[in-house]
Amino acid sequence: MANTEMIRDYIRASGYKMQYVARALKISPNALNLKLQGRTQFKLSEAERLSAVLGLSMYERDLCFFEEQNRREVLARRADENSILYIVKSKIVRSTGLHFPKRTRKDILTAG
């Protein structure tokens, strides 16, 4: 189930009216209200459109639309992928002398 409070906060912060957001999602304002109350679920296409309209990063989108367990799995998977990438880069550096820019924690969390 989506984190509707977080989604509502992002909508408020954007300054968009609910009617505009509903139109952008190609649903009625009533349907959007039902989704934000948790009575119905967001479709994948609606979640993608909403993320685009609100300018959410992939990390922010994941926080809004994936359950806690799924969020943990996504973050763990990203950490594994980054570890593998680091290992590959380390081997390339040792064998070729090439250097890669350092990544910040924020870069790693938003990489996807």
For residue range 26-67, list pLDDT tens digits in order: 999 999 999 999 999 999 899 999 999 999 988 888 888 877
From the list 32, 39, 78, 85, the residue with the least C-alpha distance to 58 is 78
- Statement: residue 20 has pLDDT above 80: yes
Task: Determine how many CB atoms are found less than 10 A away from the CB of residue 19.
Answer: 11
DSSP track, 19-38: HHHHHHHTS-HHHHHHHHTT
Mean pLDDT in residue range 71-100: 57
For residue range 58-72, list pLDDT tens digits in order: 888 888 887 766 656
Distance CA 38, CA 73 (A): 23
- Statement: residue 81 has pLDDT above 80: no
